[in-house]
């Protein structure tokens, strides 16, 4: 009997393309995104705004609503064959794929989009063609690193990290880059870093199994964008402070991807990392390893008090209202640690 053919991997054909955020704090987000972080800003209507990092019409879509959270991740796929392959994987496991409307695609700056459910309440959206913005970029930055590596990454806290890893492996052939073991406030955490292309990671998953609740209210703990020049990182850090936005972690350097970065707190409550110069994975030589501690230096909390920590867990209690759906047909039994 002939051996069944192994479907080709989609690894390398997948890139984080845009992020959708629901918020009622439009004025604060405009100041944060444009004036502090330094992105190009477009107001489309009273209930819709967008930020750009490059020629694409949309990298961040903000829609009015009460969630104060990220609601969807948009993934740019290289070609229609990759789209067909991912659709077949998702529907083959009994999970529905729905086509977005032309208006929804236009808001995201893409020609056509498809969506399906993702873990932790994050809808996954896929597309092949992004539209370019008609207006020249107006940014407080020399530029952001996007392209083949995608626009950055997201970090998610989960009490079911093995299932999240299983999901992204099934759908996008995500590969394990490395781990970080860290102890924060006496709690031991293991963070898994997954890549779908040469960027060190597009998804980071922080395990919180041993805590009574997930302490993070939002679907993502933080998202990341990468500046092209070091001065852009330090200048945006200064603007965040001067404009009065909360700084979660000061400037530091990570142990695993060696990125120099800081973390600001967004108007919606999740954190926003601005980074510079992370390493690029060489698929020919890379081997996953475990790093001890998140940072080589820096990344110290800025102005955090015990009241802030208690408030964090108070907000975390709200996460119990939302079931942490792992989309079991796609995550399966999960992937155990290597």
Residue ranges of E strands in the chain: 14-23, 40-45, 48-52, 60-64, 69-77, 98-99, 114-116, 123-127, 153-158, 175-184, 187-195, 203-207, 222-227, 247-254, 260-265, 271-276, 290-292, 295-298
Q: What share of the chain is helix, strand, coil (3-state, %, to 5)?
A: 25, 35, 40
Give the pLDDT of the chain (338 residues) as one tens digit per residue: 555 567 799 999 999 999 999 999 999 999 999 999 999 999 998 999 999 999 999 999 999 999 999 999 999 999 999 999 999 999 999 999 999 999 999 999 999 999 999 999 999 999 999 999 888 999 999 999 999 999 999 999 998 999 999 999 999 999 999 999 988 766 778 999 999 999 999 999 998 766 656 668 899 999 999 999 999 999 999 999 999 999 999 999 999 999 999 999 999 999 999 999 999 999 999 999 999 999 999 999 986 543 344 344 444 444 444 567 889 999 999 999 98
pTM: 0.93
DSSP code of residue 132: B
Instruction: Please name the helix (run of DSSP H) or strand (run of DSSP E) that holds residue 312, with its range, or none.
Output: helix 306-317
* Predicted pLDDT at 311: 46
Q: Which residues pair with 118 in a beta bridge?
A: none
CA distances to 140, 237, 238, 312 from 244, rounded to whole Å, are 17, 11, 10, 20
CA distances to 5, 137, 170, 171 from 165, rounded to whole Å, are 24, 36, 9, 10
Least Cα distance to 151 among 294, 273, 239 occurs for: 273
DSSP code of residue 321: G
């Amino acid at each position: 009997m002939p051996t069944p053919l192994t479907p080709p991997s989609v690894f390398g054909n997948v890139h984080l393309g845009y992020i959708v955020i629901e918020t009622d704090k439009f004025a604060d987000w405009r100041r944060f995104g444009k004036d502090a972080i330094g992105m190009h800003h477009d107001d489309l209507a009273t209930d819709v705004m967008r930020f750009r990092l490059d020629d694409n019409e949309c990298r961040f879509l903000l829609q009015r609503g009460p969630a104060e959270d990220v609601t969807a991740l948009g993934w740019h796929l290289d070609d229609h064959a990759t789209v067909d392959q991912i659709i077949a994987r998702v529907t083959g496991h009994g999970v529905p794929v729905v086509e977005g409307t032309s208006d929804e695609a236009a808001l995201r700056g893409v020609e056509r989009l498809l969506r399906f459910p993702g873990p932790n309440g994050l809808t996954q959206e896929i597309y092949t063609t992004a539209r370019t913005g008609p207006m020249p970029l107006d940014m407080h930055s020399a530029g952001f690193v996007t392209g083949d590596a995608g626009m950055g990454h997201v970090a998610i806290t989960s009490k079911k990290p093995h299932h999240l890893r299983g999901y992204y492996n099934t759908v996008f052939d995500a590969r394990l880059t490395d781990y970080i073991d860290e102890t924060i406030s006496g709690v031991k955490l293991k963070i898994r870093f997954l890549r779908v292309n040469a960027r060190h990671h597009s998804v980071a998953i922080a395990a919180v199994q041993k805590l009574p609740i997930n302490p993070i209210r939002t679907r993502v703990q933080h998202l990341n964008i990468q500046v092209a020049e070091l001065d852009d990182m330090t200048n945006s850090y200064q603007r965040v402070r001067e404009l009065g936005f909360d700084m979660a972690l000061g400037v530091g350097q990570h142990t695993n991807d060696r990125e120099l970065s800081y973390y600001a707190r967004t108007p919606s409550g999740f954190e926003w990392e601005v980074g510079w110069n992370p390493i690029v994975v060489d698929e020919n030589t890379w081997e996953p390893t475990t790093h001890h501690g998140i940072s080589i230096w820096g990344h110290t909390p800025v102005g955090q008090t015990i009241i802030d920590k208690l408030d964090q867990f108070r907000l975390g209690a709200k996460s119990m209202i939302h079931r942490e759906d792992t989309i079991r047909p796609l995550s399966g039994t999960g992937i155990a640690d290597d």
